[in-house]
Structure formats: C-alpha cells, structure tokens
Amino acid sequence: MRLLHRCRRRRRRRQGVPGAGFGRRDHLLSHRCAATVRPLRPGPGVRRPRDLEAGPQRAGEGGLRRPVSGTRPSAPGAGRAPLVLVLPGAIAAVLLVLPLITLVATTPWRDLPDQLGSTVVHQALWLSLETSLLTVALCAVLGTPLAWLLARVEFPGRSLLRAAVAVPLVLPPVVAGVALLSALGRSGVLGRPLLDGFGLTLPYTTPAVVIAHTFVAMPFFVLSVEGALRTAGERFDVVAATLGATRWTTFRRVTLPLALPGLVAGGVLAWARSLGEFGATITFAGNYPGTTQTMPSLIYTELQADRGAAQSLSMILLAVSILVLAALRQRWLRPL
C-alpha cells in the first residue's frame, strides 16, 4: 500500500514537472509503479469514452463514429408512415377536398354576377348573416351561464342536463324542426298560451329562424365553453375570493378571461352551424322569400329548377364562410 501511494505521488509530480529531478532510482521506481498500478479495463459491452469520440476509421477497421451533436439515433424506418394509416388518410383527404374542387371547377362563373345582383339573393344572404349573428349572441347570453353551471356547480340531475344539451348534436334537423313545432307551434305546449294570451305566433316568422338556429347551435357553444372552464379550474376563482372579490366580479374579471378561447371557439362553431342550417329552419320557419328564406333554403329551391344557379349560390355562401373564418382566425383563433 505504501508503495502504491509513493507511485501515485511520483506520477503526479512527474506530470506537474515532466522530466525534472528524476534519477536512476526514480526511473526504477516508476517501472515498478507502472507494473503495480494498471488502468482498469472496461468489461465486455462497456464503451470507453475515447471510443465514442473516435472518428470514422478506415475501411476494414471496427470502431464507432462520433455522434453528431443535437441529433438522435433514429430507428430503421422511423420516417416512413405505415401503409395502414396512409391509405385511410388519403381516402379521407380525397373525400373532403374532391367535392369542393368539383364545385369550384363546375360552377358557371358567367352567371355569378347576375346572381349577385338578384334581389332574392341579397335578401337571403342578409337574412342568413343577420340570423347567424343573432344566434351567436343568444348562445353567448344564454349558453355561457349554462356552461358555467355544468362546469362549476354540483346539483341533482346535472348529468341528465348535460346529456339533454348534447342531444341536438345527434338529432336529425327535420326532427329538431318537428320538436320545435310541438313545443312552440300554434297548438304546442308553449305556443298555445302565447297565442291565446299575447297573440304571438312564432312558426313561419323571422324569429322562428333564429330560434331554430339557436336550438341546433347552442350545444356547440355550451360544450366548448364548459370544456374551457373545466380546463381552467377553480384555483384562480378561489384566490380572487380570498382577496375580497365578489362572485360577479370574479366571474367577470377572472372566469371569463380564462374561458375566452372556449368562448371564441364556441362562437365560431355556433355561427358556422347557424349559417348552414336547413332542415330545422325549413320545417319550423318555412321558406318564404324575404322573411324566412335563408341561403341554404334558396339553394335548395334553385336546385329543383336550375343546377347551375344552385352551384353559383353555393359558391357565394362558401366564399362568405371562408372569408369570415379567415378573418376570425387571423384575429382571434391563432392561439387556439
């Protein structure tokens, strides 16, 4: 052991001042140290650090290449997409894109200026835009409190209420129109008291269009806002309450800003659903030009007589939808 320590001291001194102060005795002792202290050899399967730093060797020699910094070794075939996923994905892309390309390619563009100058088209287009915006406003005013109740308040029957909110998502539009007639028609559960007591008739009027659109679009808004509220959690509301904020102030200054992405996404979904609504509208509100005839109803009417006119109207509605969604995405939907 003493010899080992002396060898190590001499080796350190020799590294500090190479070749200085060594005589014959020192050289003999150095040979004995070299024979006594041997470097550890790595076992099988253990790589030495210098092996990892070794560059490419000549042909016929084994060895390891230096790994490139910032890269990861990739498994064989890691960049290849499996055929079992590529084929269904390609079919889905064709199914979504091909009808739109066909519509653009087969539309009679010469008739488009005449369609844009038509009074009936102007009325239907403005009615669609007005009713869709009113639908979004109603969804925001009525759907936001409902989403907050479903997300934050425990009460009996909450699961049933959430299921009832989601039913219009899977309900056929014509069935939705029949349900609205059963409830708000002249002989309906609420329609008869309104007619007898106030002389109000909702079916086949412009308010009926807004009601039908709100019925089918409200679930998109409520579920989107509820998901945003659940994701945000209640910890910030608790902090605001401990700092002395009232429940209304907490809801207005804390809860709504946290749920803003869900509010915007829900509003866009509700607007898109309202703009394209047809079945419930034509069943509950009818198809009267200037009163209840929206763009989808006008396209359906024109399709019975002139397919080219229906394609031109479809292009108008498609262009309006794309422009509005692009503007909203540029301003509000980029963080989503």
Cα atoms in the 13 Å half-sphere on the side-chain side of 299: 19
d(C-alpha 286, C-alpha 297), whole Å: 9
Q: Which residue has the higher pLDDT, 285 or 327?
A: 285
d(C-alpha 308, C-alpha 1), whole Å: 102
Q: Which residue has the higher pLDDT, 27 or 141?
A: 141
Confidence at residue 65, expressed as pLDDT on a 0 to 100 scale: 54
Q: Which of 295, 297, 268 has the alpha carbon at shortest distance from 280? A: 297
Q: Any idea of the CA torsion for 61, 64, 68, 72, to the nearest 10 degrees?
A: 130
Enter the tokens of residue 226.
Answer: 């509820």
Confidence at residue 162, expressed as pLDDT on a 0 to 100 scale: 93
The full set of domain ranges for the chain reads 130-152+172-333
Least confident residue range of 10-14, 21-25, 167-171, 287-291: 21-25
Fold of 130-152+172-333: MetI-like fold (1.10.3720)
Place of tokens 């006594």: 36
- Above pLDDT 70, what percent of the chain? 74
Confidence at residue 294, expressed as pLDDT on a 0 to 100 scale: 94
Q: Which of 288, 313, 308 has the alpha carbon at shortest distance from 121? A: 313
pLDDT digits (tens, 9 = 90+) for 45-95: 555 545 444 445 444 444 455 555 555 555 555 567 788 888 999 999 999
Cα 146 from chain centroid (whole Å): 22
Complete DSSP assignment for 158-187: HHHHHHHHHHHHHS-HHHHHHHHHHHHSTT
Enter the tokens of residue 173.
Answer: 């539009």
CA 23, 24, 28, 31 torsion-angle sign: positive
Least confident residue range of 3-17, 99-113, 222-236, 319-333: 3-17
